[in-house]
Structure 1
Amino acid sequence: MSEPTIGVERNGPVSVIRFNDPTTMNALTGDMAAELRRLLKQEPQTARAIVLAGSARAFSTGANLASAIPESLEGFDVGATLEEEYNPLMETIRDLPVPLISAVRGAAAGVGASIALSADVIVAGQSAYFLEAFARIGLVPDGGATWLLTRAVGRVRAMEMMLLAEKLPAPQALDWGLITRVVEDEAVESAAIEIATRLAKGPSHALALIRKSCWAAVDDDFLTALRTERRLQREAGEHPDFAEGVTAFREKRAPNFGGRG
């Protein structure tokens, strides 16, 4: 019996979801996208942080073209795949109630790059790279890439990545502000899990609200962001984690946060 192409490793309050199809360098099929979405909905029921990882050679090389594109292209709507499979996945990532950390080794290309770059914290190895290869086959970037890239690195650099379809090495991605940190290749997953473990000990309800406010703020004007912060701050203040945080501060001890609740 073959191993699943996406697996889960649970380490206490941290779940590691792993792409596991090394023969294709973790190229994604529609079934894999659906399974990843299912796991991202399932794991927050018990996990307080999620790490998304691949293998040594690749985080993911994007959509598996061999399985996604039919022999005859007549009448074939490439965009339907996005509507049915990848766009719902990206919406699920946006709406996660727990922090998401991506651990990138090797290639992160196409929609695989979009998934990696949609995480809250992005840890990459020295030899990792990001690639928007769509122009090479006459397509446009997807998985929210146009939105993610322009907001992370600006229109001009995003244009360069998408039009030239060249590899962007991890150190340059860090310099551009596209990713969070670069570590030695062999330390990528341990660094990501360490961050996830730290976040799992935090005020889960407040972290969920931070994610919500940040995703909203990217498209909101300043006054709308202020109103969102006011609304979510009230919600955070009504949660037991706030009382515990204040008590711990006054007692000069580490807080013991109980979870989302």
Structure 2
Amino acid sequence: MSEPSVVFEVIDGVARVTLNEAERMNPLSESLQAGLLDALARVHEDKAIRAMVLTGRGRGFCSGADLKDFSQRAAQMPPGDTLGAYVGRMMKETGNPVLLGLRTLPVPLVCAVNGAAAGGGFGLALAGDIVIAARSAFFYSPFVPALGIVPDFAAVWAGARAIGRARTAGLVLTGHKLPAEKAAAWGLIWDCVDDDQLQDEAMAIARQLAELPAHAIAETRALLDAAERATLAEQLELERQRQAELIDGESFAEGVRAFTERRKPRFRGR
């Protein structure tokens, strides 16, 4: 019996989701994307899960599109169908839902980039609330210089917001491979750690995030998203609205109790 394309396990309330086609550097195959959608559904359903780690097995995090499979499919397309139409359908049915699902998880997401994050894997790696990478990892977008198509999996959207238009354009137009250390220095990711420390560090961060109030991740994402487009006055007004509601909530009350009692707060799960 073959191994699953995606391995799902729960450790101390943290779902660890591992891309498991290591011999091919975890390409975005149909089975891998289906495995990711299944993992996302399980996280939604299991209320005991309070954080998620996404990582890969082997020397690659994710190598992007399965070009070998594309070549085979192109040769077997029935009349009236095209490879482009097939890819468009796959993006609509699985690829885009995977990215949107990761970005809207009800729990915080840590992406632990263990190796090359190439093509669609570049965007996949940036989907986390916190992204850390092994020192040997790198980010690579071959779409424009090698294939004559545009980047997908929201790599440009995430990159431009993290490091600006100039650096993002340079990466995707030249196909320059961005080492993990430089990605951290630029602010594309949270941190770069030694390879043998990556998984332990990712789980440590996830456990820390798992102790947050259940609603905190959605509230923080909303504030960060607003900051990308709001004026200063609009951002201040949004902050005022959210504080007026949240301060009357259970989490704030527990935080104040913990402060006065000189202990760590104990927030409820989702």
How many angstroms apart in 1 are the aligned matches of 2:242 and 2:39? 27
For residues 39-58 of structure 1, the aligned pairs below 5 Å read 39-44=39-44, 45-58=47-60
Q: Report the AA paired with residue 91 of structure 2.
A: L
For residues 114-129 of structure 1, the aligned pairs below 5 Å read 114-129=123-138
1:66 to 65, 68, 71: 68
2:139 to 125, 130, 143: 130
Match of 2:252 in 1: 242
Match of 2:178 in 1: 168
Assess if the C-alpha contact under 8 Å between 2:74 and 2:82 holds in 1. Answer: no
User: What percentage of aligned pairs have identical amino acids?
Assistant: 40
Secondary structure of the structure 1 residue equivalent to 2:106: coil
For residues 79-118 of structure 1, the aligned pairs below 5 Å read 79-118=88-127
Structure 2 regions of 5+ residues with no counterpart?
none
Match of 1:76 in 2: 83
Q: Report the AA paired with residue 38 of structure 2.
A: R
Shift of 1:56: 3.3
Shift of 1:218: 2.4
How many angstroms apart in 1 are the aligned matches of 2:260 and 2:102? 36
Q: Report the AA paired with residue 18 of structure 1.
A: T
Match of 1:213 in 2: 223
Match of 2:161 in 1: 151
Match of 1:36 in 2: 36
Shift of 1:133: 1.2
Q: How many residues align?
A: 260
Shift of 1:235: 4.2
How many angstroms apart in 2 are the aligned matches of 1:215 and 1:41? 24
TM-score (norm 1): 0.92
Match of 1:185 in 2: 195
Shift of 1:232: 3.2
Assess if the C-alpha contact under 8 Å between 2:141 and 2:172 holds in 1. Answer: yes
Aligned Cα root-mean-square deviation (Å): 1.9
Match of 2:7 in 1: 7
How many angstroms apart in 1 are the aligned matches of 2:153 and 2:94? 10
Q: Report the AA paired with residue 153 of structure 2.
A: G
Assess if the C-alpha contact under 8 Å between 1:206 and 1:236 holds in 2. Answer: no
Assess if the C-alpha contact under 8 Å between 2:60 and 2:114 holds in 1. Answer: yes
Shift of 1:259: 1.6
Deviations 1:94-140 (A, max 9, x none): 21121100111110111111111121111111111000111211111
Change in CA separation of 1:231 and 1:242 when aligned onto 2, cut-off 3 Å: same
How many angstroms apart in 1 are the aligned matches of 2:102 and 2:31? 17
Shift of 1:258: 1.3
Q: Report the AA paired with residue 172 of structure 2.
A: M
Assess if the C-alpha contact under 8 Å between 1:114 and 1:143 holds in 2. Answer: yes
- After alignment, is 132-141 or 71-80 more displaced? 71-80
TM-score (norm 2): 0.89
Change in CA separation of 1:96 and 1:227 when aligned onto 2, cut-off 3 Å: farther
Change in CA separation of 1:41 and 1:239 when aligned onto 2, cut-off 3 Å: farther
How many angstroms apart in 2 are the aligned matches of 1:168 and 1:26? 19
Q: Report the AA paired with residue 68 of structure 2.
A: A
Runs of 4+ deviating beyond 6 Å: none
Shift of 1:224: 3.5
Assess if the C-alpha contact under 8 Å between 1:15 and 1:51 holds in 2. Answer: yes
Assess if the C-alpha contact under 8 Å between 1:205 and 1:241 holds in 2. Answer: no
Q: Report the AA paired with residue 86 of structure 1.
A: G
